Structure 1
Amino acid sequence: MSVSPSSGYGARPRFWFAAYQLLWHLLLPLAFVRLAWRARHSFAYLHHIPERLGFGYEQPISKDCIWIHAVSVGETRAAQPLIEAYLARGKSILLTHMTLNGRRTGKQLFANAIATGKVRQVYLPYDLCWSVEYFLKTFKPSFGLFMETEAWPTVVFRCKEIGLPLFLINARLSERSARRVNRFGNAGRALFQAFAGILAQTEFDAQRYRSLGVKNVLIAGNLKFDVPLDSKLVAQGKQWQQDLHADGRFMVCAASTRDGEEEIILKAWKDLLQDCIFQKPPLLCIVPRHPERFTEVTNQIRNAGLRFQARSELTEVSSDFAGVEVVLGDSMGEMPMYYGASDLVVMGGSLLPFGGQNLIEACAAGCPVLLGEHTYNFQQAALDAIAIGAAKRISGELLLGQTVALSESLKELLLHSAELAKMAAAAKAYAVEHQGATKNILAALDQQITG
């Protein structure tokens, strides 16, 4: 089904939507100021500015392409198996993002398909009526797939009005987000009801969408279990791990950490090292979630008085780490290597109320995971990983100045290698057991679009 203009505007709640559009127009200058501010770190933030307004596209793409929207890095990686499946069918893909890092990740993952014109990358325009209209008329996709939590009102309502099937796939909805949607009353619920269908990750997610009045909800699983790890990077990590083990050292990876969590982790790490309970002190690798925070985290490590080495300063990861207590993972796209090198992962986003980051990739690399209490963005995945023995929760409060719970949890596992090995085996089993979302989503979409 191709996009064609329509005069119907019955999908959108009129008063609420008019207020939303007015707010967008008022805030539009600030959106460009924000891009300019981020350009301090990379001028690439100022590239493709016209795309954010729905025009200025450099290359055409074949009509009836499949439109997949992956807002940033995590969603782009999660979409990889589905995009590859559609490419294998001979389909063309329009891949949209909202962030620079998401676009960079897509360019890296689908370089060959981009070069041959099978994948076209652009930014999703800001959620203004006229910019969305330009975008849809330019590309005329056959149907659209939004990844995980994205639900831009102008896009969603306009697709419904013109008869363009738009699905929310790999969808997740936390209790907190569901409450937030309900605060908007019928207007908030109408947004999710306007999707042609929602393919949820878990029964928890499906129930929350149904509570919003969405009728067409299916459970398809989580695409992130189907994402292949880069075998070359994992092998590099394993070599790093072997070198550390030969020196009698373990490595802990604090992965995808968020603002405020590094301070907790570094204090716990200092307490752990000061206990002098290890023949050879373990090595901590901190990988911040957002690259723009690398300098800030570097300063935190220095202020903590810990000897550190930045990944960017190493020509090879198997370099000598004698005397080094912390490695800063200030590189992009190397998480499989960090996981491959690690004996234990502390999952960022879960120590403070950020909802947790993805633990699936760590488990696929055979890494046991320590979780804080805040995992509402990955509720089912966290519960399943704990149930199978691949992950454990840190017991106790994780407030600044009170990090005993984390240091004790680290000590308990690092001093019992047999327990670590048992958890590592469970982590791999967990990752394999939950694969299959790609096939489920393809089958459901085939049935709903053609059937």
Structure 2
Amino acid sequence: MAQKNAVQQTPFWYNFLLTCIKPLYRWKIKQRAENAAAFQQECIERFGPFQPPKNLETIWFHVVSVGETNAAQPLIEHYLKLGHPVLVTNTTKTGQARAKSLFLKAPYLDLFQAVYLPVDQKPLLKQFFDVYQPKLLALVETEIWPNLIAEAKQQQIPCILLNARLSEKSAKGYGKVARLTKPMLQQLTWMLAQDRATQQRYVDLGLDQNKSQVVGNIKFDITAPQHYVSQAEQFKQDWQLEHRQIITLASTHAPEEENLLKQLQPHLNANSNLLCIVVPRHPERFDEVYQVCQRLNLNTQRRSLKQTIQADTQVFLADSMGEMWLWYGLSQACFVGGSLNEPGGGHNILEPMVLDVPTVIGPRYFNFQSIVDEFVVEQGILIGDDAAQIVQQLLSCLENTAQKQRLVQQAQLVLQRNTGSLQKHIQLIDHYLQQTASS
């Protein structure tokens, strides 16, 4: 597809800064790597010479972490089912693990590939584009990189921002580096925004309003994978959970687990039927959270050790990756984390709601402001100011059947009226695929 405007190069200071911090980035990768082989593999994907491509002329989705991967899941699956080769890049380890757990299996093995996004340096990105030769680049939700977008422009590859969201706080951050942000946004081919506030923030930062439209949030079109629903039902039988009252603390950050478990501790000790599943957001914190449970003298089993929930289990540490749907499937109430910690921001509340799980969050949910606000208006979600209030709200969902049913019904109203964004995304991608095919 022909690009009419010349490529606008990124500022010297930005590229110099990347060069300076690159050794620190490599050190950080080494610190979190499980072993030497994992470190070497990640370095190859981040810094080159890159893995050999399974396919050329792919649809390339860049999804930062777990949340963006889940949002893009129905889009990626749609094109894989049609036989399109798909390349997924991630920024985080958890995001890549989630992408591989979803798609690196039959019948998509030959069509799907997932690697880390390389560092945003011009030579590396040029090499990456030359190796993989994508025909379209779709950035999902939040993460935009100046040299990445400039290289797509240089190579005349459509670069579209899908399901875009931008908080007021993030917009202020981009606004502080306007000489970097404005040229970057001007080189986007198109943007589909979740809401008008996001669209306006991008326009204020330099995006051409004629290259954007508001189509709602693709996350409203998600459905629970049937195999996880079936597995949850099987676990209920195998682990004898029919009479347990199960609360899940999902996507938690420090110190959310400790604060919430301290409040839950007397209830767990007094009620043998009560069970808490804890799903930390980041795998490097799994052992840390286990130690929290030990300090609180809570009888804890771990998924990573293939332990099962026993009759006397108080806490089940779901220290695995890519199984969130499974834990929601076991839940009768849940807390979605990243909303009680500092600075917070929140995580996806729609997954538990799709499974009719009453949902509680903390007060800091600015990453999902417009979504949460809609559920607040319809009284389909509970928001607690602190750990004590959140635990009381969770317990109330277990004990008050009428309240639970009301929350679920109101949440379903919001979910149902917001579906349809997925098809609009597909239409846009198809439009640019047709243009690239005819050029």
TM-score with structure 1 setting the length: 0.87
Pick from 261, 265, 269 the counterpart of residue 264 of structure 2: 269
Contact conserved, 2:94 with 2:282, CA < 8 A, in 1? no
Contact conserved, 2:348 with 2:368, CA < 8 A, in 1? yes
Moved more, 368-377 or 111-120: 111-120
Question: Corresponding residue for 1:342?
Answer: 331
Q: Following the alignment from structure 2 to structure 1, what is the Cα–Cα distance between the partners of residues 333 and 35? A: 32
TM-score with structure 2 setting the length: 0.89
Question: Corresponding residue for 2:374?
Answer: 384
Pick from 167, 175, 184 the counterpart of residue 168 of structure 2: 175
Q: Following the alignment from structure 1 to structure 2, what is the Cα–Cα distance between the partners of residues 246 and 184? A: 55
2:390 aligned with 1:410, yes or no? no
Contact conserved, 2:104 with 2:113, CA < 8 A, in 1? no
Pick from 220, 227, 231 the counterpart of residue 222 of structure 2: 227
Q: Following the alignment from structure 2 to structure 1, what is the Cα–Cα distance between the partners of residues 157 and 37? A: 35
2:251 aligned with 1:256, yes or no? yes
Q: Following the alignment from structure 2 to structure 1, what is the Cα–Cα distance between the partners of residues 147 and 106? A: 30
Q: Following the alignment from structure 1 to structure 2, what is the Cα–Cα distance between the partners of residues 367 and 406? A: 15
**Alignment map for 1:361-376 (pairs within 5 Å):** 361-376=351-366
**Cα drift, residue 435 of structure 1:** 2.6
Q: Following the alignment from structure 1 to structure 2, what is the Cα–Cα distance between the partners of residues 313 and 120? A: 29
Structure 1 pair 206–271 and aligned structure 2 pair: CA distance change class (3 A): farther
Contact conserved, 1:256 with 1:349, CA < 8 A, in 2? yes
Spell out, residue by residue over 1:380-430, the C-alpha distance to the aligned partner (whole angstroms, 9 max, x if none). 221222333331111x3x2xxxx4322332343333122112323433444
Q: Which amino acid aligns with 1:257?
A: T
2:28 aligned with 1:34, yes or no? yes
Q: Which amino acid aligns with 1:310?
A: R
Cα RMSD of the aligned pairs, angstroms, is: 2.7
**Cα drift, residue 314 of structure 1:** 4.7
Q: Which amino acid aligns with 1:219?
A: V
Spell out, residue by residue over 1:26-56, the C-alpha distance to the aligned partner (whole angstroms, 9 max, x if none). 1111222111111246842431533322434
Contact conserved, 1:241 with 1:342, CA < 8 A, in 2? no
Question: Corresponding residue for 1:333?
Answer: 322
Pick from 282, 296, 301 the counterpart of residue 290 of structure 1: 282
Q: Following the alignment from structure 2 to structure 1, what is the Cα–Cα distance between the partners of residues 71 and 325? A: 14
**Cα drift, residue 335 of structure 1:** 1.1
Q: Following the alignment from structure 2 to structure 1, what is the Cα–Cα distance between the partners of residues 325 and 80? A: 24
Question: Corresponding residue for 2:47?
Answer: 53
**Cα drift, residue 151 of structure 1:** 0.7
Pick from 145, 152, 158 the counterpart of residue 151 of structure 2: 158
Query: SS in structure 1 opposite 2:166?
Result: coil
**Cα drift, residue 366 of structure 1:** 1.0
Structure 1 pair 245–91 and aligned structure 2 pair: CA distance change class (3 A): closer
Structure 1 pair 407–138 and aligned structure 2 pair: CA distance change class (3 A): closer
Spell out, residue by residue over 1:205-258, the C-alpha distance to the aligned partner (whole angstroms, 9 max, x if none). 2222222231212122222233332222223334555777743x3111110001
| Identity fraction in percent | 31
Q: Following the alignment from structure 1 to structure 2, what is the Cα–Cα distance between the partners of residues 393 and 263? A: 19
Contact conserved, 2:194 with 2:214, CA < 8 A, in 1? yes
Pick from 417, 436, 439 the counterpart of residue 423 of structure 2: 439
Query: SS in structure 1 opposite 2:321?
Result: coil
Spell out, residue by residue over 1:7-44, the C-alpha distance to the aligned partner (whole angstroms, 9 max, x if none). x964135xxx2111111111111222111111246842
Q: Following the alignment from structure 1 to structure 2, what is the Cα–Cα distance between the partners of residues 262 and 300? A: 8
**Cα drift, residue 369 of structure 1:** 0.5
Structure 1 pair 421–31 and aligned structure 2 pair: CA distance change class (3 A): same
**Alignment map for 1:138-217 (pairs within 5 Å):** 138-215=131-208, 216-217=211-212
Query: SS in structure 2 opposite 1:320?
Result: coil
**Cα drift, residue 320 of structure 1:** 3.0
Q: Following the alignment from structure 2 to structure 1, what is the Cα–Cα distance between the partners of residues 206 and 178? A: 11
Question: Unaligned regions of 5+ residues in structure 1, if any?
Answer: none
Moved more, 441-450 or 22-31: 441-450
Query: SS in structure 2 opposite 1:145?
Result: strand
Aligned residues: 431
2:2 aligned with 1:18, yes or no? no
Spell out, residue by residue over 1:297-336, the C-alpha distance to the aligned partner (whole angstroms, 9 max, x if none). 00011112222222334555xx4323x3222111222211
Structure 1 pair 9–174 and aligned structure 2 pair: CA distance change class (3 A): same
Moved more, 440-449 or 358-367: 440-449
Question: Corresponding residue for 1:136?
Answer: 129
Contact conserved, 1:369 with 1:392, CA < 8 A, in 2? yes
Q: Following the alignment from structure 1 to structure 2, what is the Cα–Cα distance between the partners of residues 259 and 333? A: 20
Contact conserved, 1:54 with 1:132, CA < 8 A, in 2? no
Query: SS in structure 2 opposite 1:47?
Result: helix
Query: SS in structure 2 opposite 1:255?
Result: strand
Spell out, residue by residue over 1:285-307, the C-alpha distance to the aligned partner (whole angstroms, 9 max, x if none). 11100111110000011112222
2:298 aligned with 1:301, yes or no? no
Spell out, residue by residue over 1:161-208, the C-alpha distance to the aligned partner (whole angstroms, 9 max, x if none). 343211111111011000111111243233223211111122232222
**Cα drift, residue 116 of structure 1:** 4.9
Contact conserved, 2:347 with 2:367, CA < 8 A, in 1? yes
Question: Unaligned regions of 5+ residues in structure 2, if any?
Answer: none
Moved more, 72-81 or 115-124: 115-124
Contact conserved, 1:145 with 1:166, CA < 8 A, in 2? yes
Query: SS in structure 1 opposite 2:8?
Result: coil
